[in-house]
Chain A
């Protein structure tokens, strides 16, 4: 991305036009193949012929055009974002723009239908811009370091997505249809979608062309651009507004098309585009062809000409691997700085601290058991009423508490093994890996039994975690990079989950229920399972305190002390995977308890493994019980699923941690 323009060698140019011609021809081929393979409509010959023509001209053709135009708009938007932020992994999905736009649309749809008199695009733009502003504000003090920006963006995306799902579930209606819309389907019945994206794309292209000169100067760094007379802030603001508007318009028309804006400029650069003009135009082209190809493939591969999955869910599969691929090349603007600079203190009397924590935990438990909302407001239920309510309240509180404790223990293991204070089952993608395992199980067996579900979840979690530890062990990645890699792996796993989810059948419902982490249906059986699993799985950890103390010191020291490093890591990883599987089975993949609880315990000053574990278990369980209780209260008589509600507490905590490190 250097502004120095050297003449492009003719051979490169020839290769590029050959590549372009090849891609264009194969897209044309895909379109023809789609038309050719279209099933014959039953009925009399002339009627069938008429229907076929209607299908081709009112559904297939507009859909193809829409794919091209939407892809171009997203490619252009991604290229612009990457260029002005000097961040090769920026895109509407990684910066929270798409998720913010979707959240704004969900809010409008579910809570303030009056807002829908406004064009959807304006609502989406407001949401997208707002969440983007939050991301920028969070990473401002870290000088918009690319990794931090994207990490904040992915977390904002997670929170916004959780809020969207919570809203949809709270309203109860149209759950699946809204969800499918959210995952970016390109199906069309007429040309209206095309007619609404086309002028916007044209306007975006025109604006980009007008801004091309300042954009070219912006390839240099800020001070150089400023010395050349470019008002850097104004240009940057204008370009960002343009990019966010393009992405938000797409979200308003077809929903979230994941990571296309990340892939298109990467492809453009890979093919040799270097200057601002080359990259923006090539990215628009690459985005168009990519989305069209993905959508055609989904149509062709789907059974009986129904889509295999929405195109947006299909492109989201690209995001995780691409992020992992691009990450080593992202230059940090901060130099080396690790996330471990959170000030750690030590409690002088950890025993007393644990006792206080225990009392607080019991109070929360008691309060959650007795205090509830009713039509008359908050009400304390004691005596016979208490006995009546107990069978309803106790199991779900036990399940919530057990899940919280297990996730906390898993998070603590991960933080100790990786030596990364911000690790956790959710941020390392391990919970999502468990979800991918569950999705695979649901795909292979229609109605898997509990052991099969748990086993496949544990397997998914273990694979993801081993992958992440391999990455941490191998390279000198900073803590933030490891987190971003984890978030990327999580995004890949979640894209897999979404693919199954988008089928819209009973499996999808099971998955959606799992994703939201609902404790609504927990009965005595589930509660017993969760509590006994947490006891069986957590107990060994108290015996392994010495491993947990030595492991963070790194492989050299571990070997020097005679610790069987590989075996210890594998055993703990297995334990962490089982804990994650069982914990997220009850609380869903989003809760962030596994990050928050052990981290909080450490920050308060419990440093020895046994103390930290006790404190983490109690705060994890307490956090989940409090979340469960609050999730019953805040929108009474409706309920927010526990996992989502906990994510709304954990997400801001993580964002606060990321922002706060810069104070040092």
Chain B
């Protein structure tokens, strides 16, 4: 592996822009994301956060600029080599008709064994470890399409873990969940990131959840990066007004000391 151990320049974007059908969705995005951090992308609807995430995850090619993972341009990565480094979960996870949790998680080993390679001991161990870590041991032989929304989301996260990637990219993983499951899924992601030193880039709709679980918040509006920094730096009345276009107030969480915002 060439990509072992990269001290700096983990992920950097330079001048990334995207337009479709004559409409500019993103323009001139420059940023660096450090390894080992949980990074939240927030912004109002149509701000381009999902598109940016898809470009970072190599799902969509940018129409201008470039993205560098470990100093290598996106175009220089082969599909499987990239998938060993970066795992991606789409906003709407497809129904895995008839598959069990273990079978779904095992698909995460594809980047490693490929089309014809043997599914060996290493793969099996990675699958079991991923299931354990996502607290799915008792569900391993249940069918994915019979599980509740929160459990299904955990199964997909387990699949990403089995991929043994260094970075997880999640597109609104909590959009269809109730409050308890939203907190559960994000807490799981947070713990995993801390335990294994993973980098996480996640699109979140709810700014308070982002402030609670992320180290860095990147705020987008109108296809540009408006603000990026720690939750404390971003969560201020004036910046929130800029991002979301409504008046908001901020107070400190009585227990965790992180900022919480509310509509005025």
* Chain A residues close to B by CB (< 8 Å): 340, 344, 346, 419, 421, 543-544, 546-547, 549-550, 552-554, 556-557, 559-564, 602, 607-608
- Within the complex, what minimum Cβ distance (angstroms) separates A623 from chain B? 22
Chain A to chain B contacts (Cβ below 8 Å), 13 pairs: A346-B100, A546-B107, A547-B115, A549-B99, A550-B107, A553-B94, A556-B90, A557-B88, A561-B83, A562-B84, A562-B111, A563-B110, A607-B99
Q: Which of B64-72, B74-82, B130-138 contacts A (4 or more CB under 8 A)?
A: B74-82
Asked if A419 and B94 make an inter-chain contact with CB atoms under 8 angstroms apart, the answer reads: yes
B126 CB to closest chain A CB (Å) equals 14
Q: How far is the CA of A340 from the CA of B115 in the complex (A)?
A: 27
Nearest Cβ on chain B to A449's Cβ, whole angstroms = 35
The 0/1 profile, CB within 8 Å of A marked 1, for residues 97-132 of chain B is: 111100100011011000110000000000000000
Q: Name which residue of chain B comes closest to A338, CB basis.
A: B95
Q: Which residue on chain A has the smallest CB distance to residue B57?
A: A560
Write the nearest CB–CB distance from A55 to chain B, whole angstroms: 58
Residues on B with C-beta less than 8 A from A549 are 99, 103, 107
Say if the beta carbon of B96 comes within 8 Å of chain A: yes
Q: Which residues of A contact B95 (CB under 8 A)?
A: 340
CB distance from A564 to the nearest CB of B (A): 5
How far is it, in angstroms, between the C-alpha of A585 and the C-alpha of B107 when the chains are bound?
Answer: 36
Q: A547-B115, A559-B59, A562-B110 are in contact. Are A607 and B80 (CB under 8 A)?
A: no
Contact A560 B83 (CB under 8 A): yes
B82 to chain A, nearest CB (A): 6
B143: interface (CB < 8 Å) = yes
**Do A552 and B97 touch across chains, with their CB atoms under 8 A apart?**
yes
Which residue on A lies nearest to B115, using beta carbons? Answer: A546
B111 adjacent to A602 (CB under 8 Å)? no
Q: Do the beta carbons of B163 and A561 come within 8 Å of each other?
A: yes
A344 lies within 8 A of B115 (CB):
no
- Chain B residues bordering chain A, tally (CB within 8 A): 32
Pick from B79, B88, B103, B116: contact of A563, CB under 8 Å = B79
Q: Does B161 contact A (CB under 8 A)?
A: no
Residues on the B chain within 8 Å of A556, using CB? 59, 88, 90
Contact A544 B115 (CB under 8 A): yes
Q: Which 5 A-B pairs have the closest CB atoms?
A: A562-B83, A560-B88, A562-B80, A556-B90, A607-B98
Residues of B within 8 A of A546 (CB): 107, 110, 115
How many Å lie between the Cα of A546 and that of B94 in the bound state? Answer: 17
* Contact call A602/B98, Cβ cutoff below 8 A: yes
- Looking at A344, A561, A563, which has the most chain B CB atoms within 10 Å of its CB? A561
Q: Decide if A553 touches B96 in the complex (CB within 8 Å).
A: yes
Q: Which B positions have Cβ atoms within 8 angstroms of A? A: 57-59, 78-84, 87-90, 93-100, 103, 107-108, 110-111, 115-116, 143, 145, 163
Contacts of A563 in B (CB 8 A): 79, 110
CB distance from A474 to the nearest CB of B (A): 14
Contact A561 B108 (CB under 8 A): yes
When distances are taken between beta carbons in the complex, the residues of chain A under 8 Å from B81 are: 562
Interchain CB contact under 8 A, A346 and B143? yes
Cα A552 to Cα B98 with chains together (Å): 11
Q: Do B79 and A562 touch across chains, with their CB atoms under 8 A apart?
A: yes
Residues of B within 8 A of A544 (CB): 115
User: Which residues from B are CB-within-8-Å of A552?
Assistant: 94, 97
Residue of B nearest to A567 (CB): B79
Could you tell me if A608 and B96 are in contact, using CB atoms closer than 8 angstroms? no
Chain A residues whose CB sits within 8 angstroms of the CB of B94 once the complex forms: 419, 552-554, 557
- Add 13 more A-B contacts to A344-B97, A560-B90, A562-B84 (CB < 8 A): A346-B100, A346-B143, A544-B115, A546-B115, A547-B115, A549-B99, A554-B90, A556-B59, A559-B88, A560-B89, A561-B110, A562-B78, A564-B79
Known: A557-B94, A559-B59, A608-B103. A550 touches B110 (CB 8 A): yes
Q: In whole angstroms, what is the CA distance A390 to B220 when docked?
A: 75
A558 to B57, CA, bound (A): 12
A340, A421, A556, A607: most-surrounded residue (chain B CB, <10 A): A556
Shortest C-beta distance, B51 to chain A (Å), equals 13
Closest to B145 in A: A344
Shortest CB-to-CB span from A340 to chain B, Å, is 6
Nearest CB of chain B from residue A611's CB, rounded to whole Å: 11
Q: Are B90 and A557 in contact (CB under 8 A)?
A: yes
Measured CB to CB, the closest approach of chain B to A384, in angstroms, equals 49
Is the pair B116, A560 in contact by a Cβ cutoff of 8 Å?
A: no
Question: In the complex, how many angstroms separate the beta carbon of A15 from the nearest chain B beta carbon?
Answer: 31
